[in-house]
Amino acid sequence: MKIIVVGAGIIGALTAYRLAQAGAEVTVIEARQPASAASGASFGWINASFYLDEDHFRLRCAALEAHRRAQDDLGTTATVWSGCLCWEEAGPGFDAQLAALERLGYPVQVVERAAFAKLEPAVAPPERALLFEAEGAVDLRQLAADALAAAAARGARLITGIEVLDIQERSGRVTAVETSLGALPADHVVVAAGVATQRLMQPFEVPLPMLHRPALILRSEPIEPVLAHVLVAPGQELRQTPDGRLLAPTVASHQSDDSARITSRPDVLAEAAMARVSALLNRPLTWQEVTLAARPMPEDGLPVIGACGPEGLYVSTMHSGATLAPLVAELAAAEVMERGLTNAQAALLAPYRPQRFTA
C-alpha cells in the first residue's frame, strides 16, 4: 500500500512512523524541512490540565499515555516528564480549576508556599499552586527527527523542499499528489500540513474552516539549571530546556490565546516577556531568539481527524500537536491501514471528524 503523508511536522512524522511500522510503503513530502513550521516553534508542554470540554479532556489524557508509548518505542530523549506547577488562577478561579480537575479524576495536588519553595527554589513562590505530576515537555524537533529516522529504518522515504500543490483523484478515489516537480502516485494520502491543510481540502469541497492564530516563542541564552517543572504563572508560561535555555511564549495564557494577529514588533514582545520571566526568577535575563509560528487551529479550536472527500484521503490537523500527536498518529495509522479501532478508540475520535463542518 503506497501512502503519501503531506507534512513532516510532529503529526506527519509520527503518523509516517506508525504507518511504516504497520508495513505501509510511506513517502513523506515536506515543503520546507521537518518540524520547521509550528512544530519547530512550539512551547512543547504535554498536558491534559488545559482542555475545552470533557471529550477533549479524555482525548488529551489518552495522549499522555501515547506519549509514553512513543518514548519507549522510539527510545527518544525528546520527552521529559518534569511535571507542571500552575498558579495562573487565584482565589475562586483557583478553587474552581481544582474542583473541575478533581471531578474529572485528573491527578492534581495543591502545593502551599513552603512546599513550592522546595520544589522551585529559584522562583518567587505563590501562596499556593497546582501540581500536575503526570505532565511534561517535549522537544518536537527532536521527536519528529527520531520518528522520521525510525520510519526510514522501516523503508519510509522523505522528500523535502517540495510543495504539494494539490491531490489528484479519479472516479472518487485519490490517485496521486501533484507537487511542484510532478505527480507522485498514491493509494492513500494523509494530509498533516498544518495551516496548509485548508487549501488542500478546498478542491474536494470539504469544509475545513481554520483560524489565524500566530504565536511567538522566545528562547533565552543558556543558563545553569534553575527550573525543574513547566511553570504556568499569572501572565507567563515558562520552562527550561535540557540545554539550559528558558523557553516562553510572548503572550499570557498561551494555551488559550485567541489573538488573530500580532500587533507589536517581535523584539518588543520578547523584551516584555523576558522582563516578566526575570521578575519571576528575580534575576536579569536576556533573550537570544524569537520565532513566529502559525498554529493550525480549526474554527472550533478542536482537532480534525479522519477520512473525508474521495476514498483514500485522510486529514489530521490540530492544536496542540505537542500533546496530541502520538495518540493521533496511532489512531490515524490504524484507520488508514484499515485495521479498525476499538470501541474506546472510536469514541475518542468521534467528536473530531471533519464532517462536523458540513452544513
Q: At what angle do helices 54-74 and 140-152 cross, to 10 degrees?
A: 60
Quickly state the pLDDT bin for 74 (edges 50, 70, 90). Answer: very high
Mean pLDDT of the region 26-51: 96
243's CB contacts (< 8 A; 6+ apart) are 222
β-pairing, 182-185 vs 173-179, is: antiparallel
Model confidence at 143: pLDDT above 90: yes
Quickly state the pLDDT bin for 263 (edges 50, 70, 90). Answer: confident
Instruction: Answer whether the bond into residue 180 is a cis peptide, omega within 30°.
Output: no
Give ∠ CA 334-69-79 in degrees, rounded to 5.
125
Mean pLDDT of the region 94-101: 98
Quickly state the pLDDT bin for 255 (edges 50, 70, 90). Answer: low
**Is the Cβ–Cβ distance between 228 and 131 less than 8 Å?**
no
**What pLDDT, on the 0 to 100 scale, is given for residue 293?**
87
Q: What are the pLDDT digits (tens) for 189-248?
A: 999 999 999 999 999 989 999 999 999 999 999 999 999 999 999 989 999 999 999 999
**Is the Cβ–Cβ distance between 255 and 320 less than 8 Å?**
yes
Model confidence at 254: pLDDT above 80: no
pTM of the predicted protein model: 0.97
Q: What are the residue ranges of helices labelled H in the chain? A: 10-21, 54-74, 92-103, 113-119, 140-152, 197-201, 266-281, 321-336, 343-349
Quickly state the pLDDT bin for 18 (edges 50, 70, 90). Answer: very high
What is the distance between the alpha carbons of residues 10 and 17, in angstroms, rounded to a whole number? 11
Q: What is the share, in percent, of the chain residues with pLDDT greater than 70?
A: 98
**Is the Cβ–Cβ distance between 202 and 357 less than 8 Å?**
no
Residue 151 to residues 15, 16, 71, 271: CA-CA distances in angstroms?
9, 6, 14, 40
Model confidence at 188: pLDDT above 80: yes
In 108-203, which ranges are E strands? Answer: 109-112, 128-132, 136-138, 157-160, 164-170, 173-179, 182-185, 188-191
Give ∠ CA 309-202-1 in degrees, rounded to 5.
40
Question: How does DSSP assign 298-325, residue by residue?
Answer: ETTSS-EEEE-SSBTEEEEE-S-HHHHH
Shortest CA distance to 274 belongs to which of 290, 263, 287?
A: 287
Q: What are the pLDDT digits (tens) for 21-38?
A: 999 999 999 999 999 999
| pLDDT, mean over the chain | 96
Domains of the chain in start order, with CATH, are 2-63+140-209+299-357 (3.50.50.60), 81-134+211-295 (3.30.9.10)
**Is the Cβ–Cβ distance between 237 and 314 less than 8 Å?**
no
Q: What are the pLDDT digits (tens) for 266-306?
A: 999 999 999 999 999 999 999 999 999 889 999 999 999 99
